[in-house]
Chain A
Amino acid sequence: MDDPLVIGDQQYSSRLITGTGGASNLAVLERALKASGTELTTVSIRRVDAQGGTGVLEVLERLGIDPLPNTAGCRTAAEAVLTARMAREALGTSWVKLEVVADDRTLLPDPVELLEAATTLVDDGFTVLPYTNDDPVLALRLEQLGCAAVMPLGSPIGTALGIRNPHNIELIVARASVPVILDAGIGTASDAALAMELGCSAVLLATSVTRATDPEAMATAMRHAVLAGRLAHGAGRVPQRFWAQASSPPR
């Protein structure tokens, strides 16, 4: 595999991780996931209704995509730990996208609860991928306690505001020795490309694809954006200049 994304003991050739939330129906979701080229996709864990399964796992299975359960909706460490343990039994995976949010209006991570939940789950043998603020100090703490990746937000979930503090993302990348995955806030392809140019190892997005007018086209755009950003990051960009510099010879 060329330039794989390595998280824990897994390797992925795609650096685009997607979510499944927000799609109008499963057929639209399936086409978008396929177009994105993703190999790892989040699902939520909820009470089963009378019909049982919702069909989302079958879609992932057909496409050969690994499910990544999240703890969306959890507000305390205790809730998140219980949800992760339920997900492990339901899906047979010890991987979890750890999400502990502070309130419904911002959906921003609660750092105190997040650290507590991450500590418990790492000790319990989980591969923990925490959704975190774009805070370089918190990101380092999460790595030090054993998280397999850190996933700072570009902007709050579902806002499509892009990357509001690119310098913080660069600071997180500069000190991390686990993959940094830009999670939340991506609006369009240029945001995903920027995340990769800043040195992120991968991008996690959902809304920008599933709620786009044409999810399949946007998923394709995101796949190309992540590839382009990754290549540009490694290609050594030219420095920015205040004054012009001719690119043609003088005579």
Chain B
Amino acid sequence: MLINVNGTERDVPDGATVTEMLAALGVPARGVAVAVDGTVVARTDHDHRVVPDGADVEVLTAVQGG
């Protein structure tokens, strides 16, 4: 299925959970946060929350700043 990740269209397996999506994107699961369609997904929900087809996904991490 196609989803939008950080403003770019990406192809991930149909019915992927947040954890599976991160693996498919090649993003380490540690130190990242995920929002799906504007709502933050709690870390404890990453393993079972399914990403809907066409979702708008934001994947954020810590960078140098402040």
Contacts and interface: CB of A to CB of B under 8 A. Distances in A.
Contacts of B27: 48, 52
Contact of A46 (B7, B26, B30, B63): B63
Interface in B33-61: 33-35, 38, 40-43, 58-61
Report the interface size class on chain B. 20 to 34
B3 to A, nearest CB: 15
A57 B28 CA distance: 13
Interface stretch (A89-97, A110-118, A220-228, A230-238): A89-97
A48 B60 contact: yes
Contacts of B6: 47-48
Interface in A46-78: 46-48, 50, 52-54, 56-57, 67-70, 72
A82 interface: yes
Contacts of A69: 62
B66 A99 contact: yes
B66 A48 contact: no
A46 B58 CA distance: 10
Could you tell me the dominant secondary structure of chain A's interface residues?
A: mixed
B2 interface: no
Contact of B34 (A22, A44, A89): A89
A19 B58 CA distance: 24
Given A57-B31, A99-B66, A46 B42 contact: no
Interface string B14-33: 00000000000011101111
A45 B40 contact: no
Nearest to A131: B66
Contact of B65 (A20, A53, A90): A20
Contacts of A52: 26-28, 32, 61
B35 to A, nearest CB: 6
Interface of A: 19-23, 26, 29, 42-48, 50, 52-54, 56-57, 67-70, 72, 82, 85-92, 97, 99, 206
